[in-house]
Amino acid sequence: MRKNFSNDSSSKNYIRKNDRKADRNAERKPSRFGTQEKTYRKVYEDSTEGSDSFSKKRVGKSLTKSTESYSRPTKKFASSTGDKRSYNSVPRKPVLIKRKVEAVSDGKIRLNRYLANSGICSRREADEYIAAGVVRVNDVIVTEMGMKVGYDDKVHFHSQLVRPEKKVYVLLNKPKNCVTTSDDPQDRLTVLDLVKGATNERIYPVGRLDRNTTGVLLLTNDGDMAAKLTHPKYNKKKIYHVSLDSQLTNDDLTKITNGIELEDGLIVVDEVSFVDDTHKEIGVEIHSGKNRIVRRIFESLGYKIIKLDRVYFAGLTKKNLSRGKWRHLSQMEINMLKMGSFE
Q: What are the catalytic residues?
A: 210
- Which residues partner with 165 through β-bridges? none
Q: What proportions of the chain, in percent to the nearest 5, are helix, strand and coil? A: 30, 20, 50
What is the C-alpha to C-alpha distance for residues 329 and 341, in angstroms, rounded to an integer? Answer: 15
> What is the sign, positive or negative, of the torsion defined by CA atoms of 291, 295, 298, 304?
negative
Torsion of CA 36, 42, 43, 49, to 10 degrees: 160
Amino acid identity for residue 39 in this structure: T
What is the C-alpha to C-alpha distance for residues 162 and 153, in angstroms, rounded to an integer? Answer: 10
In 3-state terms, what secondary structure has residue 130? helix
Distances (CA, A) of 173 to 74, 88, 214, 215, 311: 75, 70, 7, 5, 9
Q: Which of 147, 125, 122 is nearest to 136 (CA)?
A: 147
- Which residues partner with 241 through β-bridges? 283, 309
Query: Could you give the maximum distance between any two Cα atoms of the chain, in Å?
Result: 131
